[in-house]
Amino acid sequence: MPEDASVTARVRQLPSGSATALRLNPREYADDYFAVLQAALRGPGAEAGSHTIYVSVTNPAALVWSIAQALDVPAERLSFVDAISHTMMSYRDPLPNATYVESPRMLETIMLRIEYLLRRHPATRPIVVIDSVNALAIHNPKELLSEFFHILVNNLKSRQVILLLMIVSEDTASDLDQLVGLVVDETVDVVRPRG
């Protein structure tokens, strides 16, 4: 699949300390997900001095790592907070560049692991990607999730981290879109050329 230049270009333009929601179309989820992953890892994640922390809530770190390897992403530029492998019972072979959380319900632990990885991998251009706001919403009450995002976003912005939140939605008036809209700087629809 050719690289989607428009999504990659948009993600590359994001300033440090920004929080962006990337809205994926549910009917094109696999293609949109790949476009966002490619944009994050080949955009700011490929710049000198960058390090990407990928928080997996939908897809296990092992799957994302296999895609990253296919994109020639160096291991030292990518680490994971995996909050889904235990739940999916696919925790057989832990990755050396991953830290594992038992459940997507452990929001405080997820924040602490992100903090740990930011300190462990100091970067001039740190990036945090959360692969599914929707999955976090399935596992957590709305009030708790809202508090989590407010604390996380404020902390990451103060440290000049680029935050990318993936959300699957067709309806911009949904409760989840409104919750995310309160904490991000902008929401970008992942619109790719269809052909």
Taking the C-alpha atoms of residue 52 and residue 107, their distance in angstroms, rounded to an integer, is: 19
What are the tens digits of pLDDT across the range 100-148?
A: 999 999 999 999 999 999 999 998 889 999 999 999 999 999 999 999 9
Q: What's the pLDDT score for residue 98?
A: 93
Q: Tell me which H or E stretch contains 63.
A: helix 61-70
Residue for token pair 């992953």: 37
**In the chain, what are the domain boundaries?**
16-189
Output 87 or 180, whichever has higher pLDDT. 180
Question: What is the strand order of the sheet 125-130 is part of?
Answer: 98-100, 78-82, 50-56, 125-130, 162-168, 19-24, 186-189
Q: Which amino acid is it at 179?
A: L
Residue indicated by tokens 């970008």 = 188
Report the topology of domain 16-189.
Rossmann fold (3.40.50)
Render pLDDT for 57-71 as a digit per residue (tens, 0 to 9). Answer: 999 999 999 999 998
**21 — pLDDT class (breaks 50, 70, 90):** very high
Per-residue pLDDT, 193: 54
The C-alpha atoms of residue 57 and residue 85 are separated, in whole angstroms, by 9
Separation CA 81–CA 101 (nearest Å)? 7
Q: Considering the chain, what is the average pLDDT of its residues?
A: 89
Is the pLDDT score of 2 beyond 80?
Answer: no
Nearest to 134 by CA among 86, 89, 166: 166
* Res 87 pLDDT > 90: no
